[in-house]
Structure 1
Amino acid sequence: MTISPPEREPGGLLMVGLPGLTIDDSTRELIHHQRINDFILFKRNVADPEQLTRLCAELAQTCRQAGLGPPLIAIDQEGGSVSRLGPPFTQFADARRLAEGPEPEAALRAYARTCAAELGRVGINCNLAPVLDLCPAGQGYYMERRVLGADPAVVARLGVLVIQTMQAHGLAACAKHFPGLGFARLDPHREISALTRSRAELEQDDLPPFQAAAAAGVAAIMTSHTIYPALDPERPATLSPTILTELLREKMGYQGVIVSDDLEMGAISRHHEVAEAALASIQAGADLLLICADHALVRAATARLRAALANGELSARRLQESLARIALLRRGYAGVVG
């Protein structure tokens, strides 16, 4: 088969998971033939630091053999309830506990520095953190433990501290979940929900931490799979050009990488074919699409994006815009541009 240069391949828009502790044949095929160049790791991919170091090195070597640049390798290492790396990696409390402790700045700076050192040592160059959602305590919201608090000024200040510390030490940060998931009662891993906050509430409370992160040069911002009727009554943020392009890009001026949350989550996959959602998310303004488990869905998404390029649903210019942003992120945190 004819392989397109990576700068023209929609596979460069996907960040994918792999099934085990080593690269399997399916992952090798995704790299060589689908031109996948970015990966996300989970507990299923980790036995110990030595094995994880070998896996990351093997991913980098396989990408190099395929003529691709060094991969972005991401993980969710928020601390507390969302930690993919167990001991001997340093174990931290949930973000809220650190933020509400006696010395929050020192605790969060130590968290960010340690993450950068430990993840960098094994070959991971992107941490999908911090969470910048606002969430009041004691009201039953499922994000309560993962957030930095309920005060937008505090969340913005502490979030920027985490972002700047991680990135100053060579680890890309990703602020999530835009435009704010803290008031959602349903977990989007299972089902979609609508967050019925007014536009004024969103603008006064939920958006300022993300605006601060954008101003601080955060490497990536992750989208929410929730519907925000005050902004777009029909589409979740991940699929909404009103939210991703008009609000985040144009009004808020964010120029970094927009990452979708996992398109296999129930909030998306129970209502859309994942391949169609992938195209809709790119059309809405996302750059990098997470598909975290099923390689058949990865192949379907790349095929759909190629078809969209061929029939004009997706312009070559739009593809290039996203690939250029991803290339800049790669150059900053993974090495030479692919």
Structure 2
Amino acid sequence: MLSLLVAGLSILPTAQADPAAPSWRQLAGQRIVYSYSGLTPPDSLLRHIRAGEAAGVIFFGENISSESQIGAVITQLRQAQAQSPIHLPLLLMTDQEGGLVRRLPGEPVLSEKQIGQAADPVAAATAAGTGAGRNLAGVGMNVNLGPVLDVYYQAGNFIDQYQRSYSNDPGTVAALGRAFVTAQQAAGVAATAKHFPGLGSATAAQDTDAGPVTLALSRSQLRSVDEAPYPAAIAAGVKLVMVSWATYPALDPNRPAGLSPTVVGRELRGRLGFTGVTVTDALEAGSLGAFGTTGQRAVAAALAGMDLLLCAARDATQGADAATALTNALAGGQLDRAAFHAAVGRISALRAGLR
């Protein structure tokens, strides 16, 4: 039935019109990425997967003790998905940016900053993308939450202190990001450009995981510097874009970017023409402290046009809470059903193209 979504056809005006159709809960689950603590996925997560109520799983360092261990976990998750009524691969993802931000040992060993400083940066970015793709695919993962396309403004600031930016020049970031995306996706692993519209101006103390961040850049500066690398990544076919939790008053003074229909709908989709999957940053981020519970944040993100909701608190109940809120909002009419089906369709098309 979800093949209808891939084709872009509307499904059902009511949940019970066709007993074979996905339930509201299953449709909601197609937008949720779960996480868990420790080395063993909990039974509750496996039940959600078997029931067709999960889009994917994100892995962190605490979930991985060795390649063989995480490979066995992924096999277990895939076996659960095989019992699901949703016949699409799970999205199995992690942050394998390179350098200091790697969940798996091995490639890419170089950080983005080291790549930017290499003798042949494009060749280095291409090698890193290939290495990341092969490394993740080797254990059964199919999505990387990278590359970072933030253009750092000051040495040692939030994004540069961990060497997560290729350069302070937007043209360089565009070229290297495009090379990484192209090479990684050629290896069969979807790439995620982040953190739109950009965290490159954030100071070392401005961490959206910890609390609210406002980046008071002009619209022209945002577009000429921060957003400048994205057209190249979009032209290269990047599968996902992660939207940041910072607030950009020049675009929307009232809401973080990932909760803003202006940023997601007008800027990313409208102005830049991105038609792939949008994904939130971690839904439990401190920057969302004023925006209610997990469920309220999930609904607000969906209303803003975010497709995938990243529940990264290492607790499967967080994902379940988000799914419940989406289910209720969908069934109750708070969320537009056509827009909801369109989001699930984009996610389903992504999943159908992966292993």
TM-score by length of 2: 0.89
Tell me what 2:90 maps to.
71
Tell me what 1:272 maps to.
292
1:6 CA displacement: 6.8
Tell me what 2:164 maps to.
146
Change over 3 Å in CA distance of 1:54–1:270 after alignment to 2: farther
Match of 1:29 among 26, 42, 47: 47
Tell me what 2:14 maps to.
none
1:137 CA displacement: 4.2
Following the alignment from structure 2 to structure 1, what is the Cα–Cα distance between the partners of residues 354 and 214? Answer: 35
Tell me what 2:77 maps to.
59
Moved over 4 A (4+): none
Q: Is 1:329 paired with 2:350?
A: yes
1:189 is paired with a residue whose SS is coil
Q: Is 1:113 paired with 2:130?
A: yes
**Could you tell me whether the CA contact under 8 Å between 1:238 and 1:281 is conserved in 2?**
yes
Following the alignment from structure 1 to structure 2, what is the Cα–Cα distance between the partners of residues 33 and 315? Answer: 24
1:171-221 CA-to-partner distances (Å, cap 9, x unmatched) read: 100000000011112111101110011001011111111122112210000
Change over 3 Å in CA distance of 1:99–1:256 after alignment to 2: same
**Could you tell me whether the CA contact under 8 Å between 1:37 and 1:63 is conserved in 2?**
no
How many residues are paired up? Answer: 330
Q: Give the letter for the 2:286 counterpart.
A: G
1:35 CA displacement: 0.7
Q: Give the letter for the 1:297 counterpart.
A: Q
1:311 CA displacement: 1.6
**Could you tell me whether the CA contact under 8 Å between 2:215 and 2:249 is conserved in 1?**
yes
1:1-338 to structure 2, matched below 5 A, reads 5=22, 9-33=27-51, 35-68=53-86, 69-86=88-105, 89-90=106-107, 92-138=109-155, 140-144=156-160, 145-185=163-203, 186-269=206-289, 271-292=291-312, 293-334=314-355
Considering only aligned residues, what root-mean-square deviation do their CA atoms show, in Å? 1.7
Following the alignment from structure 2 to structure 1, what is the Cα–Cα distance between the partners of residues 21 and 51? Answer: 9
Q: Give the letter for the 2:311 counterpart.
A: I
2:30 is paired with a residue whose SS is helix
Change over 3 Å in CA distance of 1:12–1:6 after alignment to 2: farther
2:254 is paired with a residue whose SS is strand
**Could you tell me whether the CA contact under 8 Å between 2:96 and 2:144 is conserved in 1?**
yes
1:271 CA displacement: 4.1
Change over 3 Å in CA distance of 1:265–1:284 after alignment to 2: same
1:43-63 CA-to-partner distances (Å, cap 9, x unmatched) read: 111111111111111111101
Following the alignment from structure 1 to structure 2, what is the Cα–Cα distance between the partners of residues 211 and 155? Answer: 11
1:74 CA displacement: 0.5
Name stretches of at least 5 consecutive residues in structure 1 with no aligned partner: none
**Could you tell me whether the CA contact under 8 Å between 2:97 and 2:108 is conserved in 1?**
no
Q: Give the letter for the 2:166 counterpart.
A: L
Q: Give the letter for the 1:136 counterpart.
A: Y
Following the alignment from structure 1 to structure 2, what is the Cα–Cα distance between the partners of residues 109 and 208? Answer: 20
Change over 3 Å in CA distance of 1:281–1:132 after alignment to 2: same
Tell me what 2:7 maps to.
none
TM-score by length of 1: 0.93
**Could you tell me whether the CA contact under 8 Å between 2:108 and 2:132 is conserved in 1?**
no
**Could you tell me whether the CA contact under 8 Å between 1:3 and 1:33 is conserved in 2?**
no
**Could you tell me whether the CA contact under 8 Å between 1:191 and 1:270 is conserved in 2?**
no
